Structure 1
Amino acid sequence: MKKRLRLLKEWPTPKHISEVRSFHGLASCYWRFIKYFSTIAAPLTEIVKKSVGFKWESEQENAFNLIKENLISAPLLALPDFTKTFEIECDASGIGIGTVLMQERRPIAFFSEKLIGAALNYPTYEKEMYALVRALETWQHYLWPKEFMIHTDHESLKHLKGQDKLNRRHFKWVEFLETFPYVIKYKQGKENIVADALSRRCTLISTLSAKLLGFEHIKELYANDPDFANVFNAYEKIAFDKFYRHEGYLFRENRLCVPNFSLRELLVRESHAGGLMGHFGVRKTLDILNDHFFWPHMKHDVERICERCITWKHAKSRVLPHGLYTPLPIPTEPWVDVSMDFVLGLPRSKRGHNSIFVVVDRFSKMAHFIPCHKTNDATNIADLFFKDVVRLHGIPRTIISDRDVKFLSYFWKTLWGKLGLP
């Protein structure tokens, strides 16, 4: 090993393009061990192209020496430990991006990429966002199972998510990011604790079932909520007794305060029954909720809902295997079998709508396009369905949707309630 390191250290300065390709090829085999390899090697990468003649200037010399130094002193990469939290750190320069996958600040893997074409003209915040997207694409097999941390100043993510209209590239990036259970860790600033708590909303949105299409309408409920109205209205700009407001949301320490409406029950049910080993007891369900949420008498709500869970009482341990997919029955008459879906992420209309609730008759293919808000939950959607579909066509026999089964359960429950049926 010492002999190989000595040979690498004494590698002569290339005098011909073939010698550059030889060194570049050797170094590229170990790019995973060198932080920001693509950016460092960019001057050498340029001259190995067929369209560029051989030239060796100070820029190439510096890159050559820096790569040798990094190869000789490459850090020892740690093996991933799936019981610990993964961390990602991203950086972007004028010509390249670099990311690091870590645990407890120990590097597990490096990724770097030289920017080419249109990417070279991205503004800084876009390059930072692109670096994050490439990191998640590269290490998604590590990151999807559990919550992980992104070290950033949040400017790029904050800028993109604050736009009213996103172009196709930005929308694709944001949509991809929201499939991951990430938490933002801010590098500096006195608002770190507050901002970190709010950033967990990204995790909540991606891990909760689709019974609630957004959290934005929570802001509108605080002012008249019996549990939080006094604190919310009296202390708009300053913290009081561990409560504070941030961007319209009310927090107690680092937990989101949930007003007294149907979301509380949905959160309890999701925490109790969600995950691979669902139907937890009262204590475990409370622990899950207390990590992210706060409202008075939470334990009473958890006990009440757990007591009504038959699965939890019987503690079933067997899970039947999934059967084969079966075809949908062929409809025989109009508006007896319908399907429904949502078109999200649209620009806000003059009346404030930003989504479309689509209901299609599977027999005639006739469709209703109903304006709605992305914040509508199952109860609101059932109201719209009753007003715009049931009023004209009656109650259907079947409804096909790719929404969560719990969403459909609440939907049907609300629909039957409007008809006066138990």
Structure 2
Amino acid sequence: MVREGLVLGHRISSAGIKVDRAKTETTSNLHPPTSVRSISSFLGHAGFYLWFIKGFSKIARSITKLLQKDAPLVFSEQFIEAFDLLKDKIVNAPIMIAPDWSLPFELMHDASDYTVGAVLGQRKEKHFHPIYYAIRTLNNALENYTTIEKELLAVIHELEELRDHAYAHSYNYKLKTKELHDRKLIVLMETFVVIGKPQVPCYFIFGDSLFDSGNNNQLLTTLKSNYPPYGTDFPQGVTGRFTNGRTIADIIGQLLGFDEYIPTYATVTDQHINQGVNYASGGSGIREETGSHLGGRISLDRQLLNHHSIVSRLFHLQRNITFTREYLSKCIYLVNMGSNDYINNYLKPKLYTTSHMYTTHQYAKILIRQYSHQLKSLYDLGGRKIVVFGLGLIGCAPEEISTFGTDGKPCVQSINDAIRLFNRKLKPIVDRLNVYHPDAKFTFINLTGMALQQGMVLTNVPSCILRSDGQCAQTTLISPFRTMSMYYDGYHPTEISNIHIAKVSYKAISPMDASPYDISHLARL
């Protein structure tokens, strides 16, 4: 098993966090300058980091004096020492910090005659701390750009390096030049820096606690997360999300360009339903009885009834049936359901009869049949761009491992085998729905494959103190290393895990991640 991985230019392992040397390889491999031009280029490069290098001017004095008028071009020992020292200070770890996912990110840019540079960082106690550097050497054509054009080029270069991350996080932009006089450059800035309007007109979310953002708050149920430490890293604090920060659905919404989180069905008003609704409910399932021992929850059938109500309200508000149908056909619909049909049904034989009545093959077949009808109902309600998530590896959840044991294996193999069986039956259903309904686009997200990718880097140690049911106990004590763990409580992923799943769902790394489309492709269809 791989025991370390990369996050934003940092190598994370059980030994801790350190800067990835590959990210500073360009600087490390620089040879000493041999001409006035190459000296100027290096100083333009190194000068970008003068904020972060103590005594920069003093160190660079032996180099800068060679640029003085009529100065002899002598590459002395002091020159070489100054060059090597600046190089060392640029690439060494004390300059950089690990990202704090609870804070906004800031991009700072600068330009010299021969290079443009950008640094991604965060402010802590009013001080800017760098996380990631990006440098680009200019060719002859780019050297003729004006200063502001070069700085905008630095913005574009950095955003291309961090494109997916930029969509998923809050950024501030700092340009050295204070005014943009040219209207064309303002348009350029808007094109590359501002995310712009959403890629789809609306976004509807169906699911369980992985997507729930507060629908369970007013229900009579034990499955709630409207207390700390849930929401520790979420901008609005405690909301009813079953994680420390944003959910997968939240992050996908941001990647789609929505600047506000999609409201819950419990709180949405007519003013906001045109942008979408989150119907997800913790503890809910494909089957109506699933999770009943927990108390109130909103099953998928009832979430679809709630959506029917919302669609009716949209028809009434927009007063044009043709327009509303066309409008709904352009929206993205996220569906994530089935985990609780195992966790809070089939795997609790003392409370439910399903494991006594069906083998794992029979149960998967029954679930898939009902799920297929429910997805068809969503189509009948106007959904045409429907994203169906497969199930994750429930057998690797800390609470399931604690309950069932693993016989020396990393996870509960029998549970994961049942989940893989469900997923193998689900994907052909998605393909069949595409065949039977050619005016619609259904797609399958391989959550199991993504979980395996994360398992190579993140631990499965919970980030909070657990209650007996696997949820976080109400306390402010949480792990400071939650960015290195896949799980926040006994079942639910951390925000860092959600970020990975959301980003790969939106922009697939391989054809195995999403089939036949990833969400970014689906939004453009």
Q: Do these two structures clear the TM 0.5 threshold for a shared fold by scoring above it?
A: no
Q: Which of the five TM-score ranges fits, normalised by the shorter chain?
A: 0.3 to 0.5
